[in-house]
Amino acid sequence: MRCPSFKILCFAWKEPIVYQILVSGKEEVNTTMAVQSCIQDPLWCSMFQLNCTVLGWRQETVNGRRIKDVYALSSVGVAKAALEAINGFNLFGNQGCSWSVIFVDFDAHNRNRQTLCSLLPRESRSHNTDAALLPCLSYPAFALDDEVLFSQTLDKVMRKLKGKYGFKRFLRDGYRTALEDKTRRYYKPAEIKLFDGIECEFPLFFIFMIIDGVFRGNPAQVKEYQDLLDPLLQHTSEGCPVVPKYYYVPADFVELEKKNPGSQKRFPSNNGRDGKFFLWGQAVYIIAKLLADKLVSPKDIDPIGRYVPPQDQRNVSMRFSNQGPLENDLVVHVALIAESQRLQVFLNTYGIQTQTPQQVEPIQIWAQKELVKAYFHLGVNDKLGLSGRPDRPIGCLGTSKIYRILGKTVVCYSIIFDLSDFYMSQDVMMLIDDIKNALQFIKQYWKMHGRPLFVVLIREDNIRGSRFNPILDMLAAFRKGIVGGVKVHVDRVQTLISGAVVEQLDFLRITETEEAPVFKSLEELDLPKHSKVKRQSSTPNASELEQQPDVNINDWKNKSTYEILQKLNDCNCLASQALLLSILLKREGPNFITKEGTVAEHIERIYRRAGSKKLWSVVRFAASLLGKLVDSLAPSITNVLVQGKQVTLGAFGQEEEVISNPLSPGVIKNIIYEKCHLQDEREAVVQQELVIHVGWIISNSPELFSGMLKIRIGWIIHAMKYELKIRAGDMPAKDLYQMSPSEVKQLLLDILQPQQQGRSWLNRRQIDGSLNRTPAGFYDRVWQILERTPNGLIVAGKFLPQQPTLSDMTMYEMNFSLLVEDMLQYIDQPEYRQIIVELLMVISVILERNPELEFQDKVDLDKVVQEAFHDFQKDHSSPKGAEKQDDMTAFYNTQPTGKKGTCSYLSKAVITLLLEGEMKPNNDDPCTIS
């Protein structure tokens, strides 16, 4: 019997090569090439293609463009299930060995899981829900282990799609309806509006609900859907039941059905009567019938145990299941590694027991990049041009396992301990924060048998100067057994290895004709054991004066190169040197020779010196001149995207680049240095910092980004600067660029928190507007406004038409929300943006309470706000008259609700505009006499 995980794999990819291997049963497939190129390489593609551009069932065009369902969750979910099912499976069974085992990257797979959980109960950007989620979350994939989220998703599918004849596939699905033009492959713009309310209904999904009821031990659900299904079955001349593919509304009944949904009889497709059966539905029906009649058990059709009943989850083997260990008190095993014996002796004086690389031998300690190099050989096939695993970092889950590679036992340390060329690594508080975040991440997402082994690499540079005390406090926390709320157990590597997860990477077996790959293990620093560790005196953060240049760039940019070189030689201020070198860099290029080498080399030296002195403004300026790029930038952006958000890069008030799909680091670097270099060179590297911070925060605390559909990095920086002004009061505000990376991260966390009650309304609107926050249900309300605004909405010169918007989209889909955000992003003042958001909420409430009203002309939101502001001025003008008639500061600083609140003025302006049009007759109007 073949492994059912293969069937899930084929279901996920519909991969012809894999399918042929499965059905052939021939001995010829038992080759290394079959393992690597036909199975393992598609696995890498599935794990890393998080953008999952899936066309699925929807075929249409919008404004001449083909619609793509990015993050179609039913596809992501089934791919996730396939990865879980096939992980560790030996393709050759009893005849195989360790090198014929399939490997799954747990960190990449975990991102698939995050994508699934973060966007459910939605199906994709264009589909608010989809019946395809039923076989994804229930039989056969069982892709979700969150019962609450499963119930929410199932409830949404039933509310939106369930009918008397089956489930609709999705809203406005034109497939096989009477109005569909079957001669065309794609729909025209606005055409899908025609299918609203007459979508075909598929009995197939009733059958999936029967199977789901059997698995979950819910006989009432089984009985309910059996009763719904039986009248829908057709029969052959021999009396055998046949499952129709769909039920449709005939052309003659379409208008009546649209006027009164559910009132018209639907007719079955010709399946069975024309000699052609709907084989998928027929097969699933037979399975459901066997299950319901108890002729087979759920275990017979799920032998690898994809579904685990809640009562059995604690005792079942999690080998192929979507379930993970339920214990919330996971203990992370920790090995403390000192890079030299001298450092080990020094730490021992403080009671911190560590090991050196030599003391853990024959076990080797590798950086994660060496593990990446090893995995690169998995799936490589030169004949087919397959390159193996992509060159992506191994995450915290992957580095928390033990590896057996070419006869060696290897432990790995996380990427956070890699020596980085980016200045964030010079802030020890960032390292400590990264360690705590990594431990939290491992605790939350570790689902393997055995304990995770987290290697903490301590370098001599970590304890120099003011870095020592924070590092010592963290190491003391390790000794106590609690770090950042995570239970840890510190011991020797040799002791911890027995309880760890061991991965055999025997695909690296080398024949006599092959050259063995070379891997570099961590080497111990060759320093005298009893020599003293050089602890430099503490270096506090430099003052603002030290970070300011004593030259003005405008005075020097037009002077000769000779004069600049003379000034450079005479100047001792690092900030001034960096400024002068920036002029030379733009004028003469990076290879121009100065007293200390080329311009690029000179800037690099300033970068290092400024870092040691904590001159963060100078460091950022030099880093930007050198075009530095932080590690893990692309994965951080992906972390944001899988939460259903978009990222924009670019300075506040300037053109921004919207990122909606994962990009390579090189492309991201080009965007940052092209969009962020216009006003202040330091902006380019600060935006990189923010991307890293946002990626971590949104993974661990997604609720902080509630109501933010677009993460506009430049606008977030503007919010942070505004926050510093608020804190400074009447004093000069602190310069964001002079703050350490850890201080920048804390400031970001502060502004993401709900706004404090003691703040003025101007401050609140400034911060919320900069963050692009919207209230709950905001985009749905804009849709309702558009339904009553035939000529559309306009704000800041950006027009949102009623048609074809309402015809091309549905109310709850993400594409419409993004369209609204595209309109709002042209507003250049954060506080004004927030007023527009309040105005749209006001309009929605007025229209909801007055169904007889609608707008006759195009609604210019700017004019409505101006009208409200003029009324506000009349009530608040001073006896001498307002000196600045266009200054809206007082209006922004007024509370929304209550007497004389902004909402009262906005409401008056909206009602005035509405009453200029005609009222629609309403039979339920209480004022009507006859």
How many other C-beta atoms can be found within 10 angstroms of the C-beta atom of residue 259? 10
Q: What letter represents residue 557's amino acid?
A: K
pTM (2 decimals)? 0.83
The per-residue pLDDT for range 61-106, each reduced to its tens digit, is: 444 444 444 456 788 888 888 888 877 777 777 777 766 777 788 8
Which of these ranges, 523-527, 610-614, 894-898, has the smallest mean pLDDT?
523-527
Phi, psi of 903 (to 5 degrees): -65, -30
Percentage of the chain exceeding pLDDT 70 = 83
pLDDT of residue 691: 95
The per-residue pLDDT for range 38-62, each reduced to its tens digit, is: 666 666 665 655 444 433 444 444 4
d(CA 722, CA 767): 7
Q: What angle do CA 355, 357, 363 make, to 5 degrees?
A: 105
Contact between 182 and 111 (Cβ < 8 Å): no
Contacts of 455 (CB under 8 A, 6+ apart): 334, 335, 337, 365, 399, 411, 412, 413, 414, 417, 493
- Which residues, listed in sequence order, are joined to residue 645 by a DSSP beta bridge? none
Phi, psi of 66 (to 5 degrees): -75, 130
pLDDT at 682 over 80: yes
Across 473-487, average pLDDT: 91
pLDDT at 929 over 80: no
d(CA 88, CA 96): 12
- Which residues, listed in sequence order, are joined to residue 800 by a DSSP beta bridge? 793
The pLDDT-based confidence of 920 (bands split at 50, 70, 90) is low
d(CA 266, CA 278): 18
The secondary element (H helix, E strand) that includes residue 453 is strand 453-458
d(CA 73, CA 90): 28
- Reference 208, options 327, 144, 288; nearest CA is 288
Across 432-460, average pLDDT: 89
What's the token pair of residue 707?
Answer: 């109501």
How far is Cα of residue 446 from the mean position of the Cα atoms in its chain? Answer: 19
Phi, psi of 487 (to 5 degrees): -75, 130
| 3 state SS of 32 | helix
The per-residue pLDDT for range 868-884, each reduced to its tens digit, is: 999 999 888 755 544 46
pLDDT at 507 over 70: no
pLDDT of residue 445: 84
pLDDT of residue 762: 93
pLDDT of residue 511: 56
d(CA 912, CA 867): 10
Contact between 639 and 695 (Cβ < 8 Å): yes
Question: What is the residue-wise DSSP string for 389-437?
Answer: S-S----TTGGGSEEEETTEEEEEE-GGGS--SSGGGG-HHHHHHHHHH
Under the phi-then-psi rule, with left for phi > 0, alpha for psi from -120 to 50, and beta for the rest, what region is 233? beta
Contacts of 282 (CB under 8 A, 6+ apart): 242, 243
pLDDT of residue 628: 93
pLDDT of residue 594: 87
The per-residue pLDDT for range 764-799, each reduced to its tens digit, is: 999 999 999 999 999 999 999 999 999 999 999 999
Residue that has been written with the tokens 């629609």 in this structure: 920
Annotate 316-355 with three-state secondary structure: CCCCCCCCCCCCCCCEEEEEEEECCHHHHHHHHCCCCCCE
What's the token pair of residue 266?
Answer: 């639907």
The per-residue pLDDT for range 11-40, each reduced to its tens digit, is: 443 433 443 444 444 444 455 555 555 666
The pLDDT-based confidence of 524 (bands split at 50, 70, 90) is confident
Across 676-697, average pLDDT: 91
pLDDT at 109 over 50: yes
Contact between 375 and 366 (Cβ < 8 Å): no
pLDDT at 536 over 60: no
d(CA 407, CA 425): 34
What's the token pair of residue 154?
Answer: 């199932």
pLDDT of residue 62: 46
The per-residue pLDDT for range 301-359, each reduced to its tens digit, is: 988 788 877 666 554 444 444 555 445 578 999 999 998 899 999 999 999 999 999 99
pLDDT of residue 515: 72
d(CA 647, CA 640): 7
pLDDT of residue 751: 94
pLDDT at 919 over 80: no
- Reference 364, options 214, 180, 524; nearest CA is 524
d(CA 460, CA 342): 9
Top pLDDT among 262 and 106 is at 262
d(CA 759, CA 856): 39
The per-residue pLDDT for range 130-173, each reduced to its tens digit, is: 999 999 999 998 988 888 899 999 999 999 999 999 999 999 89
The mean pLDDT value of the chain amounts to 83
Across 215-239, average pLDDT: 93
Positive or negative, the CA dihedral 72, 76, 79, 81 is: negative
Across 219-236, average pLDDT: 94
pLDDT of residue 66: 45
Pairing of strands 646-649, 710-712: parallel
Contact between 374 and 90 (Cβ < 8 Å): no
pLDDT of residue 532: 61
Top pLDDT among 668 and 808 is at 668
Phi, psi of 38 (to 5 degrees): -95, -20
Q: What angle do CA 229, 232, 237 make, to 5 degrees?
A: 120
The pLDDT-based confidence of 604 (bands split at 50, 70, 90) is very high
Top pLDDT among 849 and 115 is at 849
pLDDT at 923 over 70: no
Across 565-581, average pLDDT: 91
Which of these ranges, 157-171, 364-378, 656-670, 758-772, has the smallest mean pLDDT?
364-378
